[in-house]
Chain A
């Protein structure tokens, strides 16, 4: 049996000595240098209720979306930025990097190769953070319920706050979903990242079950 040759792909993650252009020699251990291995922590809400309410209001009114189109749903994200739907008036903004974003919109089905990137991007985002599951595929697999490469339930791999059904949901449905998310945040119910920290082992076990190329530490940012 001719097994696939993975050796070349792993070589990037091996320990090695590197000479800089200045002639300096130093050791690079990607598994240690590129990732962090600390577990996520639960951040309880502030004890001063008015302060917490004010914070939640601030969070809800400045939603920064990670611009990572993971599936077909991304096609309706673009019109939201256009003058016709104009999501900016809801305080919704797109950011290119996970470090600056607070909301991760999973656009549709997540294939196994993508869910690895979704998990990494999600863990790189700073809390408090929320996830919107777009389209039917994130709920129960949708059209691809019997496909060998797409996950059926997204909430087994990362916590989901709001689902938007439809295939494809219209931009208005998306805006409605954002409104619901805002309401949840203002009521203090958007606890996705805390949930993730509490049930960390369960989520990790589920993720490791399907991601066969697990070449990173458990938690990384």
Chain B
């Protein structure tokens, strides 16, 4: 770790044997700073309550709940199919994982067999969602370090992917293309060619991004050694996804609990060993390239015609037998899961959403911010890739 902050360590309070520090706010040594919710260096609408000594963070407390809409309550009031417009709004930047997990959980409980074609299209949509979410993150990470231009490139790439989503489903952000039992339709005519063209257009920009950002002396100097995640914390804190893979633990739901058509695709989970901001950024960049490769593989193999939806009873009268299940998928931030309990009626009894940011943004961020320089708080937080809406639902 780099030695940031005050040189005179005598001013600092002593750490007791159990790892806690006594902070006496009335001594006048400390400053309380609220980073967020209205702050340019925060991801989404959340806030960090930082206690500073000099410019070093002594204690951090995450406050969430600014985006709480009570989804899990609202879902109990709506029929299974009425919930579909709600679930995609739980996580705004990448709604498709919600749609998939919810649909798959219902299919599991109701015993619905999904046609082959729909599985391929779902895999395609999930990979495209991963791609656009990662592109947004790549833009945000360098933005937190003050790089304007690569950030704009990535936004442009993301807009291109969103255009493809629009072509497919008619919406940019909330594309409810999946439905319980399958998908809405087969791929439109000419979609594959356009998608390939889009990928061909964005790959050179991604290569430029790597050249400009990862070889940049300023970025290296600031990002290396910053925001270290100890590999021992991974099991303790329930860290999943790129944050775990950055520490050398190949945790990837796509490999561990294969779903959809991932067992038939060729890929290996990307890992890095340094476990700092630089390693995680590079890992995500490599993940984007892998995602591009996966989309190409999927486009190769998706059939053009065929059944895309299983036969279901009338949706509004759809009753699912009592049971409970947990369905998960690998989203850009880690393991995304839905725990659904049904009681045999037309309404879900309980839906619990497990967002990966839940542990990353609260417990892990509180631990990581300690001894961090205030200028690096934003970069560290962005590198955890937290989206507040899925923390509080």
Residues B44 and A74 in contact, CB atoms below 8 Å apart: yes
Give the docked Cα–Cα distance between A121 and B37 (Å): 10
How many angstroms from the CA of A17 to the CA of B389 in the assembled complex? 39
Given contacts A21-B29, A111-B67, are A82 and B156 in contact (CB under 8 A)? yes
Q: Which residues of B contact A150 (CB under 8 A)?
A: 69-70
Give the number of chain B interface residues (Cβ < 8 Å): 38
Which residues in chain A, 81-111, are within 8 Å of chain B measured between CB atoms? 81-85, 96, 98, 109, 111
- Structural contact, B159 and A167, CB atoms closer than 8 A: no
Do B69 and A109 touch across chains, with their CB atoms under 8 A apart? yes
**Complex CA distance for A113 and B70, rounded to whole angstroms:** 13
Main secondary structure of the interface of B (DSSP, over half): loop
| Distance between Cα atoms of A17 and B45 in the complex (Å) | 33
B173 pairs with A75, CB closer than 8 A: yes
Contacts of B26 in A (CB 8 A): 16-19
With A96-B39, A149-B69 in contact, is A168–B29 under 8 Å at CB? Answer: no
Given contacts A82-B152, A146-B77, contact A75 B93 (CB under 8 A): yes
Interface residue stretch chosen among B84-92, B99-107, B269-277, B285-293: B84-92
A121/B89 in contact, CB under 8 A = no
Query: In the bound complex, do residue A147 and residue B155 qualify as a contact, i.e. CB atoms below 8 Å apart?
Result: no
Number of residues of chain A lying within 8 A (CB) of chain B: 42
Contact of B45 among A71, A144, A148 (CB under 8 A): A71
Q: Is the CB of A68 within 8 A of B68?
A: no
Asked if B73 contacts A148 (CB within 8 A), the reply is yes
Chain B residues within an 8 Å CB radius of A149 = 68-70
Q: A79 touching B74 by the CB < 8 A rule?
A: no
Whether a CB of chain A sits under 8 angstroms from the CB of B301 is no
Docked CA distance A150–B66 (Å) = 10
Are A81 and B155 CB-contacts (below 8 A) given A69-B45, A74-B44?
Answer: yes
Residue of A nearest to B42 (CB): A69
In the bound complex, CA of A160 to CA of B28 (Å): 42
Query: Is A67 on the interface with B (CB-CB < 8 A)?
Result: yes
Nearest chain A CB to B87 CB, angstrom units: 11
* Complex Cα spacing A20 to B70, Å: 44
Which of B's residues lie within 8 Å of A, judged by CB?
26-29, 32, 37-40, 44-45, 65-70, 73-74, 77, 85-86, 89, 92-93, 136, 139, 152, 155-156, 158-159, 162, 171-174, 389
22 A-B contacts, Cβ less than 8 Å apart? Answer: A16-B26, A19-B28, A67-B40, A70-B37, A70-B45, A71-B45, A71-B67, A72-B89, A74-B45, A76-B173, A78-B155, A79-B158, A79-B159, A98-B38, A111-B65, A113-B66, A121-B38, A144-B70, A146-B74, A148-B73, A168-B174, A170-B172
Q: Residues of A at under 8 Å CB distance from B?
A: 12, 16-21, 66-72, 74-76, 78-79, 81-85, 96, 98, 109, 111, 113-114, 117, 121, 143-144, 146-150, 167-168, 170
Closest 10 CB pairs of A and B: A82-B155, A96-B40, A68-B38, A19-B28, A84-B159, A72-B92, A114-B66, A18-B28, A168-B173, A147-B70
